[in-house]
Amino acid sequence: MRNFENKTVLITGGTRGIGKAIALRLAKEGANIAIVGKTAEPNPKLEGTIYTAAEEITAAGGGRVLPLQGDIRFDENIQSIVARTVETFGGIDILVNNASAINIATTEHVEPKRYDLMQDINVRGTYFMSQACIPHLKQAHNPHILNLSPPLNLDNRWFAPHLAYTLSKYGMSMIVLGLAEELRQYRIAANALWPKTIIATAAVKNVLGGDFLIQRSRTADIVADAAYYILLKPSFETTGNFFIDEDVLQQEGITDFGKYAINPDQKLMNDLFL
């Protein structure tokens, strides 16, 4: 029996990057996977679609994969995503809130629509996705909510360079704090996971620093492996934590991180919030 056999995992932002890596990792352990993304048709600016991602995940795990086109900014999309997942797999055991928008401009240069996009996806989308899944998580054996968001730190150096983005990501982290305590009575875990270093994703390449940063990054597999170990833990005793990927793996006895480096000859760069 694989560790996630007969478990259903719903992952937002599962088309590429960290979301897809987590889907691939859990599929190998037997999980049913529902991935949510907006990209249904090929886009020259973006890698893959929800359907090509689903094909990769199926090949990796041989299990059942449900690709769901949806935009978590909209309530009707959230309700449809959850309903179709439950209809297909019979329930939800794990919710991974990975979908996120990023804009690291200073306050003078953030347009209202960019600010609203980050708030609508990162905070509002995470909140209402969690809300919609709670009734189903209450029925699960070892239910988890995992947000891809950073540890909370009120030092002003984490706010000054990109205030709007920090507000949105910290909003996701505050949801972890609230849900961990609110849902403790139902034995539903709520935790956050964040990478120690920059991860080679489309956002890093297209928004943060192009190939220069990619060469100083790790692959998304390190975050996926950390998520795997977190989601294995008993939900009633592992909640309200802000995990860092490398720390999680070290606690599991893993000390060789070289395989995760994009370019082992380059010095890794720490993430924006660490």
Residues annotated as catalytic (active site), given as ranges: 165
Q: If you write DSSP's letter for every residue of 28-89 in order, what string do you get?
A: HTT-EEEEEES--S-BTTBS--HHHHHHHHHHHH-S-EEEEE--TTSHHHHHHHHHHHHHHH
In single-letter form, the type of residue at position 114 comes to R
**Within 13 A of 90's CA, how many CA atoms are on the CB side?**
6
**Within 13 A of 223's CA, how many CA atoms are on the CB side?**
29
Calculated CA dihedral for residues 96, 3, 8, 69, nearest 10 degrees:
60
In single-letter form, the type of residue at position 129 comes to M
CA–CA separation, 256 vs 96, rounded Å? 26
Give helix 126-137 / helix 163-182 axis angle, nearest 10°. Answer: 20
Helices (H) and strands (E) in the chain, counts: 10, 7
- Gyration radius (Cα) of the chain, Å: 17
- The tokens describing 165, both together, are 């983005």
SS3 state of residue 261: strand
CA–CA separation, 60 vs 155, rounded Å? 42
CA 48 to chain centre: 17
Instruction: List the beta strands (DSSP E) in 110-178.
Output: 144-148
